[in-house]
Amino acid sequence: MTTRYDPADLGTERLSPALRAEALEQLLTERGLVQTDVIDGFVAKYESDVGPLNGAKVVARAWVDPEYRTRLLANGTAAIKEVAWGGGANGEHIVVVENTPTRHNVVVCTLCSCYPWPVLGLPPSWYKDPAYRARVVREPRKVLAEMGLELGDDVEIVVRDSSSEVRWLVLPERPAGTEDLTEGELVPLITRDALVGVAKVAAP
């Protein structure tokens, strides 16, 4: 049975953000303004074709091609477009920062949920959660540990705050034991969480 929503609830706190989105989709569909298959196709595109796979391809290229890595760190937006689609309103200015054994970058958007969709797909629910957005700035080491990433006290943690002007993307450390892997073999190892900085890339 299809749930019916009252349009009056869209601008209130009676519905959670997820239910408000569902209610809005239902309202627009009923009025013939959008088609569900179009919405489904858009979501699928960002989840797969324009999702984390694009970011993984960028990182894999940087790991095997030192010249590309240099270009990526100097001008992320331009270098990303060499490997993957990086356009659109959420990919116009992407800055790439590199994690090292002594410095770890983690990304947040403290104001809303600015996020480089073209290379990371749709933002996960935890990224949009007010608790993550507030706490990772104040106590990043503790938040990362709660998410399964323990970093030593000798590792500096830098929190990068995304905005409508700048989106951040992390170039994670290449794990030991992957020296003989090809670019294509490296791609499946690279996760969205590593590109946000809440995880490291695990060796195969």
Q: Which amino acid, one-letter code, is at 138?
A: R
Give the active site residue among 16, 48, 109, 162: 109
14 vs 36 pLDDT, higher one: 36
How buried is residue 41: exposed, middle or buried, by Cβ count under 10 Å (0-12/13-18/19+)?
A: exposed
114 given a catalytic annotation? yes
Question: What number does CATH give the domain 50-196?
Answer: 3.90.330.10
What is the pTM assigned to this prediction? 0.77
CA distance 107 to 99: 12
pLDDT tens track for 20-65: 666 666 777 777 767 777 766 666 665 555 568 899 999 999 999 9
Kindly report the three-state secondary structure assignment for every residue of 39-81: HHHHHHHHHHHCCHHHHHHHHHHHHHCHHHHHHHHHCHHHHHH
Mean pLDDT score of the chain, rounded to an integer?
85
Are 77 and 86 within 8 A, CB to CB? yes
Give the active site residue among 16, 48, 113, 164: 113
Give the active site residue among 112, 125, 163, 164: 112
113 given a catalytic annotation? yes
Asked if pLDDT for residue 15 goes beyond 60, the answer is no
